[in-house]
Structure 1
Amino acid sequence: MSAQDTPAQGLPSLTAEIDPRLLEILVCPLTQGPLDYDREAGELISRQARLAYPIRDGVPIMLPEEARDLEV
């Protein structure tokens, strides 16, 4: 495997894409509110909870303890 085959550390992998049908049914586990998909960051954003849930290998990690706080 070459350096080009592995994502740079700290950057989302190229597999952070998520099925649009899944986005239609996912909600924030804390607020039950809608989520916005940030393709560039590879995250699902809950504006109500001010949290960003990571997407790893195409799987959204919907655990509040895995989410990062959004800056105010």
Structure 2
Amino acid sequence: MFTARSDLDPALEQHFAKALFAMSYDNPTHRAVLEAEGLRQWIAPQLAAYAELREASAQQGFLTRPSA
């Protein structure tokens, strides 16, 4: 999973995702990257699964603390 700044251009985000999803394990160049990540392919994240983590982070004030 990748994270990005909230001001990332949505077109750039889509271009990046499209490039990842186009990677093929059968392509030796792509395979090196995929294997380095322990993957055979990239898949879209299931963001709803992070709802509890977001809620807990908000309750703890983690998302509102100033960065060091």
Q: TM-score, normalised by structure 1?
A: 0.24
Identify, as 1 or 2, the structure richer in helix.
2
Identify, as 1 or 2, the structure richer in strand.
1
- Rg larger in structure: 2
Q: TM-score, normalised by structure 2?
A: 0.24
